[in-house]
Structure 1
Amino acid sequence: MKQRTKLMIPGPVDVWDETLEALGRPVVSNFTEDWAPIQTETIDLLKKIFQTQNDLFILTSAGSGAVEMGVASIFSRGEKVAAVSNGPFALRSIEILRAYDCDVVEIENGWGCGADLDQVEAALKQHPDVAGLVVVANETGTGVRNPVKELAALAHAQDIPILVDAISGMGGYDLPVDKWELDVLCTSSNKALETPPGLGFISVSERAWDTVDAKQADGGRGWYYNLANWKKYR
């Protein structure tokens, strides 16, 4: 194998030789019986990392594609959505929300500071009509972890789902999806999971599915990034 540069960045990261060698195997058609066991095993292994029994999907996209899928599937155009804003990737989530014409309630903290729970709770009470809460678990650029468990509890106290961008968090520290009742959690292959770039992963709770199903009649959700289609064709 050729000499390679040592990557000292959050992602993409160095990949094990065994993983790189596996990429050299012949391509398998996803329409044959050879494919299903591979996908099933991979999803089962990912569920162990996510600590979930929820549905989980593998996308050919960046992690931001998984976040966009969550936004496109559980929020409707014009809906008010609360978002914690304390770093560059929080701003990306907000940009995605606005791309889908969501009315964003931006809960601003300074960069380098974790979400202020009292501030978030006050914002949710001030806007009782918000349809959900969006938060980045770990801000890659600043290294700040947001209190995801407590934020999920605040969202559920208002009977709304939480969408978590865990792109640089999942696999790096404990984010138990089922225990903390994280409705939609998104991550990618090329950071703490230590595999090559190009895949996004998204887990979906029953609460989130209820929201997805209820909003299909609204239309305007596209095809590829519509979770309802992934559920239909899985």
Structure 2
Amino acid sequence: MRRAGDIDLVPAGQEGGFETETPFDTIEIALQPALMERVAAELGGKARALPLDTRHLLRDQRIQHLARALESDVNANSPSGPLFADSIGAALAVRLLGLDNLDVDRRNRLSDAQLKRVLEHIEAGLHEPLSILRLSRVAGASSSHLRAWFKAATGFTLHRYVLRRRVERARVLLRRGDLSTSEVAELTGFAHQSHLAHWMRREIGQTPRDLRRSQPK
């Protein structure tokens, strides 16, 4: 009766599971109660009063997409770092709480000073892991609000903006020609050369090798 993509939701403290007659593969994601409570508190309103019940055989394309993205990163030894995992976890929490379709209060936004602080902090920390909690403290806003307001202000999610800035920094360093590709990857916050090459190809259509070959002799 089960198909690829079926989802079981099992709240903390409740028993789940089922019997099968044939082997199967599954992805199990555990969201900490503290994460659910934080997201609910940040978004407020119905979220705090909405109980989660055990449900089986759910179908939800967004949850599937988020789960596959997290699985791919874990299988690659989590090269995207804590900001990516934080973002996926929070997005799953929002989806499960049923709040993803609520309108953001358009009167609220990052002030120029808040946005400047966040952008400067990202620029100074491109070489190290950046988390949504760390950036929300810099902004002086909740992590849920920061995600929505940052995208409204820049047109990019936080995760994608950080990746684009890391790629740009890497391109500048590679063009200098005095550092190895592994050194550039480390200085720009990528887990390894392959991680850097993957995102350079996606963002600018060139790998580090392509970029070096295009440089004048």
| TM-score band w.r.t. shorter chain | under 0.3
Q: Which has the higher helix share?
A: 2
What's the TM-score, normalizing by structure 2? 0.27
**Structure with the greater relative contact order (CA < 8 A, sep ≥ 6): 1 or 2?**
1
Q: Which has the higher strand share?
A: 1
